């Protein structure tokens, strides 16, 4: 069994396949490692190039070909599902991340008993306007909302303890939020960040653009809700519902007293409509909270998930 699994999602990187595999072979020559490259439905000849590379390095390299382009997150999840190592390192296929950084990250994770060692492209070799500035804004928002203080969430080069990483499932564009997801399963002081090398893209075309920043912001709203309320959604919807019921009930009680004590006409007053809307909205939020609680239990119990993660057991279970 390999001690280290390297997972690399790849899409339309025909010019980088051979240099990537050569760099991996040089960096991992003496390690007990498996390399899993997930071809995310490439249509430029990358699939055939990967198969040739695997034939030349069969003892280490595994290629997973997906049926079509499912996206980077799905490709990464496919590689994580196939990984067998105690440590899983994820890496981009464009050679902007340096394979020479793989082993130092994995070694630090094991030596310091950490769960995540994240790469930080401190000297990032990308365009300022379309890549660096949007990335800085997004990273600052993610830090503020998740409480996991990393400088560079967008760096794919990260080392994870497999037993923790395989406790989460990735959907949509959620791969960049993996450290935040893992903060629900481990302490944040077991998530550290180290500077890594970063190179300009030498071949191929970037798959990232300014529009991706907006998708990140939308995903961040879901991440914030999930991190805080996935196991107790009633605490979120219930508080809003009770507040709305309180406001609506107060308005309706005031109108009731005004009507029957003072004889005032209330049929055309905006407060009547507002009070009814607040009251009904409060009931709706409470109902939503109840449904969300039921769905939360289905999510955990239907998939056999637990609300805890065992780090180790003494003595080990036979």
Model pLDDT, residue 295: 82
Model pLDDT, residue 249: 94
pLDDT surpasses 60 at 318: no
pLDDT in tens, 45-85: 999 999 999 999 999 999 999 999 988 888 999 999 999 99
61-to-56, 98, 129, 145 alpha-carbon distances in Å: 9, 18, 37, 38
Can you read off the two tokens belonging to residue 216?
């990140």
The kind and range of the H/E element at 109 are: helix 102-111
The kind and range of the H/E element at 6 are: strand 4-10
Model pLDDT, residue 6: 96
pLDDT in tens, 78-126: 999 999 999 999 999 988 889 999 999 999 999 999 999 999 888 876 6
More confident of the two residues 256 and 169: 256
pLDDT surpasses 80 at 9: yes
pLDDT surpasses 70 at 127: no
pTM for this predicted structure: 0.75
Model pLDDT, residue 23: 95
Determine how many CB atoms are found less than 10 A away from the CB of residue 118.
23
pLDDT surpasses 90 at 209: no
Cβ contacts of 221 within 8 Å, gap of 6 or more:
none
3-state secondary structure of 231: coil
Model pLDDT, residue 292: 84
3-state secondary structure of 180: helix
pLDDT in tens, 242-263: 999 999 999 999 888 888 887 7
Going by the DSSP 8-state scheme, the letter that residue 219 receives in this structure is H
pLDDT surpasses 60 at 210: no
């Amino acid at each position: 069994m390999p001690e280290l699994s390297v997972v690399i999602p790849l899409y339309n990187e025909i010019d980088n396949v051979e240099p990537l595999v050569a760099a991996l072979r040089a960096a991992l020559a003496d390690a007990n490692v498996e390399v899993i490259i997930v071809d995310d439905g490439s249509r430029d000849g990358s699939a055939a190039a990967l198969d040739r590379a695997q034939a030349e390095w069969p003892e280490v390299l595994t290629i997973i070909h997906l049926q079509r382009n499912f996206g980077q997150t799905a490709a990464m999840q496919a590689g994580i599902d196939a990984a067998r190592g105690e440590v899983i390192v994820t890496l981009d296929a464009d050679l902007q991340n340096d394979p020479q950084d793989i082993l130092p990250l994995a070694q630090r994770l094991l030596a310091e008993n950490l769960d995540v060692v994240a790469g930080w492209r401190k000297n990032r070799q990308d365009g300022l306007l379309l890549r660096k500035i949007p990335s800085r804004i997004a990273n600052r928002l993610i830090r503020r909302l998740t409480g996991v203080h990393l400088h560079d969430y967008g760096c794919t080069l990260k080392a994870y303890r497999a037993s923790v990483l395989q406790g989460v499932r990735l959907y949509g564009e959620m791969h960049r939020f993996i450290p935040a997801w893992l903060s629900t399963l481990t302490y944040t002081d077991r998530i550290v960040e180290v500077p890594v090398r970063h190179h300009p893209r030498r071949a191929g075309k970037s798959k990232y653009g300014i529009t991706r920043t907006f998708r990140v912001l939308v995903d961040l709203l879901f991440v914030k809700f999930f991190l805080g309320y996935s196991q107790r959604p009633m605490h979120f919807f219930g508080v809003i519902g009770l507040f709305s019921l309180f406001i609506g009930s107060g308005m309706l009680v005031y109108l009731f007293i005004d009507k029957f004590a003072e004889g005032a006409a209330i049929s055309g007053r905006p407060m009547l409509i507002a009070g009814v809307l607040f009251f009904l909205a409060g009931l709706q939020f409470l109902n939503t909270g109840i449904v969300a609680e039921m769905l939360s239990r289905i999510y955990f119990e239907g998939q056999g998930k637990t609300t805890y993660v065992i780090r180790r057991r003494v003595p080990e279970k036979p």
